[in-house]
Amino acid sequence: MVTTEVRIPFRPVLARRTPVATLLIPAVTMAVLGLWGLNRRGLWGDEAATWTAARRTPAELWHLLQNLDAVHGLYYFGMHLLLAVRADEVMLRLPSVLAMSWAAAAVAATGAKLAGPRVGLIAGTLFAVVPVVSLYAQEGRSYALVVAGATTATYLLVCGCRSTDRRWWQAYAGVVALTVVLHALAVLLLAAHAVTLLMARSAPRTWRLWGMAAGGTVVVLVPLLWVAGGQVEAIAWITRPGWDEVVHLVRAFAGPSGGAACLTLPLAAAALFLPRRPSFAATPPTLITVALPLLVVPPVLLIAVSQLYPLYDLRYVLYALPGLSLLVAAGADRLAARVPWRGSLPLAGALVVSMVLGGQLAAQNEVRSGESRMDDLRPIAQAVQARAKPGDAVVFLAGTRRKAAIAYPEAFAGLRDVALEASPGRSGTLYGTELPPDRVRKLLSRADRVWLLDREDSDQRRVFRAEVERVKQDVLATRFHREGVARLHGGSVHLFVHD
């Protein structure tokens, strides 16, 4: 019997010549860490934005995106479909857990492609145990999906550079475009990949194929930026980054504990300065030319631009972290190559991962507490629910404090939001619009008991630009007395009773 070997030039993205265990172990590790304590804390402010947007009708959601958060439009529509199946905190965060698990596998696949399966396994697992990865794996926002897209695109870039099959580049173009639509600042990934091609001295054909993919991404991005350009007030809270933000970035990536950083940073340096393992071919692009630009270029560019136009936040460049994981794994590989024992690399990898995870269990536990975010809306809502009576009034000092009522509406059932003019869905906003100051004064003055929600450190003496906020303060100060207050993480709950 004669058999013919058929070569398939284009195989599934994450399975080409990579042992299943190399992908599965990092993915399962990330899934376990992501599911650990997934609903321990309540929703926080940004998750409340996802919650209110995704639970609207398609028409209401489209109305919102015309006014605000157009850059999150694709994510909101996807979450709308998911929350229609089941609407709770776990379902809100589950896509992020799955996305980070995929990202861990993609990091492993990239490392395996560049430096062998053992390096890939170490890199993917190391990525999975970093606390900041768990932080965003347990958040109902799009950042984990962006990381998954960026790591997949990086793997496809490597495959495209090492193959004559154009379908790698077609897949690359689609993934990059999708990632940029999920978050516009992911476009900096293209700059990192351009540096990779430059360092690898890529052939003109490779540059041409990459340029076509990058051009297609820009074509997709321009309309999104045109719409989002009129919504810049959504990022008005961002300030110019300084050295504190740089230090925070290094600590988040290398490990918030000093011990983890003292291990990971020297290993990354070893990858840069020690000769590579001679047994593995150094076909361009190499691990260094892929990982170093990925780690450095997006944060440096965004921090530099933010000196003139503040845009920087760590989560916007989270997809750069896999670059460090790859470098640390390569450093362990190069040090192990100097030990005359075949099992030195698996042992070194196991030690690195266990020390990074074990040395940061406190940080992992903190990720799952309400203290890990600016606020925790669940205990704030519970404080109202515990003592509120049907017919009580409720007001929010600054309308954005309405987040608690949006996230946990059952806690506010039977209460009258006396300042609310139009609901979030009807007004095309995240938190609704409020009545004119004179109407708020009249309605608030008629109440017997008023629940006021404000920020955690409120003493009711802040000066607001908006007149309606000053009216709330004035009416409560002159016609009511405060009977109780609960100061919680990210918010305070006050009970006022009419004199």
For residue 416, what is the domain's CATH number? 3.40.50
Q: Name the domain boundary from 323, 348, 372.
A: 372
Specify the pLDDT at position 28: 96
What contacts 321, CB < 8 A, 6 or more positions away?
127, 130, 132, 133, 147, 253, 295
Beta strand 449-454 with 420-422 is unpaired
Q: How confident is the model at residue 133 (pLDDT cuts 50, 70, 90)?
A: very high
Per DSSP, helices labelled H in 255-316 are: 258-273, 287-305
3-state secondary structure of 498: strand
**pLDDT tens-digit map of 171-217:** 999 999 999 999 999 999 999 999 999 999 999 999 999 999 999 99
Cα Rg of the chain (Å, integer)? 26
Specify the pLDDT at position 448: 95
Q: Is the pLDDT of residue 432 over 80?
A: yes
Q: What is the mean pLDDT of the chain?
A: 90
Q: How confident is the model at residue 2 (pLDDT cuts 50, 70, 90)?
A: very low
Residue 290 and residue 385 in one domain: no
- Residue range 47-76: mean pLDDT, rounded: 94
> Sheet containing 416-417: which strands, arranged edge to edge?
416-417, 393-396, 449-454, 491-498, 480-488
What contacts 202, CB < 8 A, 6 or more positions away?
161, 210, 284, 285
Q: How confident is the model at residue 341 (pLDDT cuts 50, 70, 90)?
A: low
Residue 182 and residue 197 in one domain: yes
Contact present, 18 and 113 (Cβ < 8 Å): yes
Q: How confident is the model at residue 253 (pLDDT cuts 50, 70, 90)?
A: very high
Per DSSP, helices labelled H in 183-242 are: 188-199, 204-228
Residue 101 and residue 124 in one domain: yes
Contact present, 441 and 468 (Cβ < 8 Å): no
**pLDDT tens-digit map of 261-298:** 888 999 999 999 887 665 555 578 999 999 999 999 99
Residue 310 and residue 416 in one domain: no
Amino acid code (one letter) for 82? L
- Residue range 1-30: mean pLDDT, rounded: 64
Measure the CA–CA gap between 172 and 155, rounded to whole angstroms: 9
Amino acid code (one letter) for 480? F
Counting Cβ atoms within 10 Å, is residue 168 exposed (0-12), middle (13-18) or buried (19+)?
Answer: buried
Q: Name the domain boundary from 372, 399, 433.
A: 372
Judged by phi (left if over 0) then psi (alpha if -120 to 50, else beta), residue 407 lies in alpha
Residue 204 and residue 150 in one domain: yes
The Cα diameter of the chain in Å comes to 99
**pLDDT tens-digit map of 23-37:** 999 999 999 999 999
pTM as predicted? 0.92
Amino acid code (one letter) for 137? A
Backbone angles phi, psi at 3, to 5 degrees: -110, 145
Amino acid code (one letter) for 177? A
DSSP 232: G
Q: How confident is the model at residue 353 (pLDDT cuts 50, 70, 90)?
A: confident
Q: Name the domain boundary from 372, 397, 425.
A: 372
DSSP 87: -
Measure the CA–CA gap between 288 and 247, rounded to whole angstroms: 23
Residue 300 and residue 425 in one domain: no
Residue 165, domain extent: 20-39+88-372
Specify the pLDDT at position 7: 42
Does residue 329 lie within any of the structural domains?
yes
Per DSSP, helices labelled H in 415-479 are: 424-427, 437-445, 467-479
Contact present, 288 and 330 (Cβ < 8 Å): yes
Does residue 68 lie within any of the structural domains?
no
Measure the CA–CA gap between 349 and 189, rounded to whole angstroms: 28
Residue 289 and residue 147 in one domain: yes
Residue 340 and residue 475 in one domain: no
Residue 354 and residue 426 in one domain: no
Q: Is the pLDDT of residue 222 over 50?
A: yes
Specify the pLDDT at position 358: 82
- Residue range 38-65: mean pLDDT, rounded: 95
Q: Is the peptide bond before 409 cis (omega within 30 degrees of 0)?
A: no
Domain count, the chain: 2
Residue 188 and residue 273 in one domain: yes
Does residue 81 lie within any of the structural domains?
no
Residue 305 and residue 385 in one domain: no
Measure the CA–CA gap between 430 and 48, rounded to whole angstroms: 9
Residue 467 and residue 332 in one domain: no
Specify the pLDDT at position 371: 86
Specify the pLDDT at position 12: 42
H or E element at residue 243: helix 243-254
Q: How confident is the model at residue 225 (pLDDT cuts 50, 70, 90)?
A: confident
> How many helical (H) and strand (E) elements, i.e. helices and strands, does the chain have?
22, 7
Specify the pLDDT at position 346: 77
Contact present, 121 and 21 (Cβ < 8 Å): yes
Measure the CA–CA gap between 14 and 424, rounded to whole angstroms: 42
Q: Residue 177: CA atoms inside 13 Å, Cβ hemisphere, count?
A: 19
